[in-house]
Amino acid sequence: MNIRSKPRAPGARRSLWSALVGPGVALAAAVAAPAQEVAPRTSGAPTEPAAMLVQLADGRWLGAEPVAIDATAVTVRPAAVATAAGGGSDALRIPRDEVVGLHLRPARPSGPARVLLAGGDELRGRVGAGDSAGDTLALVSPVLGRLQVPLDRLARIEFVARTAGAAERDLALPADAEFAEALFRPARRGFDRTLGELHAVLEDAVRFQAARDETPRRVSFDELAAIALAGGYGREDEPDARLLSRAGDSLGVGLEGADERHVTVVLEGGQRAMLDWSDLASLAPRRAGLTFLADLPPDRREERSYFGGRAQPPLYPHRADRAATGGPLSAAGRSFVSGLGCHAYSALSWRAPDGASALVGAVAIDDSVAALGVRPQVDVRVEVDGAERFRATDLAPGVLRSLGRIAVRPGQRVALIVDFGEGLDIGDRVDWLGVAFVR
């Protein structure tokens, strides 16, 4: 019996969250500021860090306490004011057009399952039974609550206890797969793959018809490492912000507003969620005039290992919106929803888009290096049409280095380079954080 899965019809597509469209950005071009630490190290007793780092389109980073977000502005209490006034009422109102990101705390991915959606969104939590028709699965997120996720939006489900250390290629469908779904079971070496068709997600199992079977059967989650699906549909709308939760959820949302206690977001499909500020790790807008480099594939790239020269592939290829090793972008004790994770040697370049007048962002050593017990040494540079516009050779763990505001013109080639420093490349894990073209 041939059970080749049929492509899912576009009419069957369901969405999870709706989104709002934010206003554009209009900023004058400026010369890049000198390289500076966002959070300079101080001698003596450590001070309490600001609750939030606000990244601005003029290249500055501001330590602050959140106050409110409305349709036109983000209102914060700068950390220096809050400390001096003991939490006084002095506040700074920043137009939303000038905010590139809000960064609060580290993300600690949690939950027994990692659910990847077509288009790049990621959810964390416990997987359970969907609707009676078998069109959805339920996901209970530590932050977002209970969600119904359409199967047509899925790319992969990973049961994290059994996929630790797995590479993307280990859990992928073959490029010429005859069937649209596959189950992966742990094996002595790697994973055993069974091609077939997913019929439904149950409370603690799936109903799956293997290619060699004539009827579907129940397969317990306890047997599985992952489920891969082909032909999933990306979302149809454009979110006006991207959110990274403390539990590792990374998704597009509509940013409706906030007060000093809560942030209200609109999820795909129109569901509203009221989150505590403590539930957020990072929030970055998406709007006209603001283009994150992580959203654009580089038009040139060169990556290689320390040993073997240009012919040797890199230990960790670069990743968009993730650290090179696969976790959240985390530096100086915070996580960031947008950026690029790289490992020396890496040279990535882009053409500045129409309307771009500057590049902003920060660079840092990824916090995962702390577990290695080594001191990373790298030479990082930003070049515009081959001319060096930023350089740092003394990056240290725990410190963000602002790029300032680097002037660019549309069509110019902008390159982000992570070169070997002294010594070997062990621990040369670099995060380019919130790097974006602005206008």
pLDDT of residue 89: 57
Record the tokens describing residue 333, joined without a space.
């004790």
Tell me: the pLDDT tens digits for 106-123?
999 999 999 999 999 999
- Residue 79 host element (H or E): helix 79-84
- Can you tell me the distance from the alpha carbon of 380 to that of 395, in angstroms, rounded to the nearest whole number? 8
Segment 181-203, tens digit of pLDDT = 999 999 999 999 999 999 999 99
Asked whether the CA dihedral 263, 267, 270, 272 is positive or negative, the reply is negative
| pLDDT (mean) for 51-63 | 95
pLDDT tens-digit map of 150-160: 999 999 999 99
Distances (CA, A) of 135 to 148, 158, 198: 9, 19, 10
Q: What is the pLDDT of residues 135-152, one digit of tens each?
A: 999 999 999 999 999 999
Asked whether the predicted pLDDT for residue 9 surpasses 70, the reply is no
Secondary-structure percent of the chain, ordered helix, strand, coil, rounded to 5: 10, 45, 45
Higher-pLDDT residue of 407, 175: 407
* Distance, CA of 86 to CA of 80 (rounded, Å): 10
Q: Please give the Cα distance from 146 to 143 (Å, whole number).
A: 9
Task: Check whether 77 has a pLDDT greater than 50.
Answer: yes
**CA-based torsion, 4, 10, 13, 17: positive or negative:** positive
SS3 338: coil
| Average pLDDT value over all residues in the chain | 86
Give residues with Cβ within 8 angstroms of 158, minimum separation 6.
113, 114, 115, 116, 166, 171, 225, 226
Predicted pLDDT of residue 307: 79
Q: What is the pLDDT of residue 190?
A: 92
Output the pLDDT for position 133.
Answer: 87
Strand pairing partners for 153? none
Angle at CA 22, nearest 5°, toward 18 and 23? 160
List pLDDT tens digits, range 335-370: 999 999 999 999 999 999 999 999 999 999 999 998
Over residues 1-28, mean pLDDT: 31
| pLDDT of 383 over the 70 cut | yes
Structure tokens at 266: 């609109």
**pLDDT tens per residue, range 220-256:** 999 999 999 988 888 888 899 999 999 999 999 999 9
In this prediction, residue 83 has a pLDDT band, given cuts at 50, 70 and 90, of: very low
Q: What is the pLDDT of residue 182?
A: 96
Name all domains of the chain by residue range, CATH numbers in brackets.
Answer: 122-229 (no CATH), 293-438 (2.60.120.1060)
Q: Which tens digit of pLDDT belongs to each residue from 276-293? A: 999 999 999 999 999 999
Rounded to whole angstroms, how far apart are CA atoms 24 and 9?
Answer: 34
The pTM (predicted TM-score) of the whole model is 0.86
| DSSP E strand stretches across 178-305 | 181-186, 191-201, 205-210, 217-220, 226-229, 241-245, 250-258, 262-266, 272-276, 280-285, 290-292, 300-303
* Helix (H/G/I), strand (E/B), else coil: 182: strand
Q: Is the pLDDT of residue 257 over 70?
A: yes
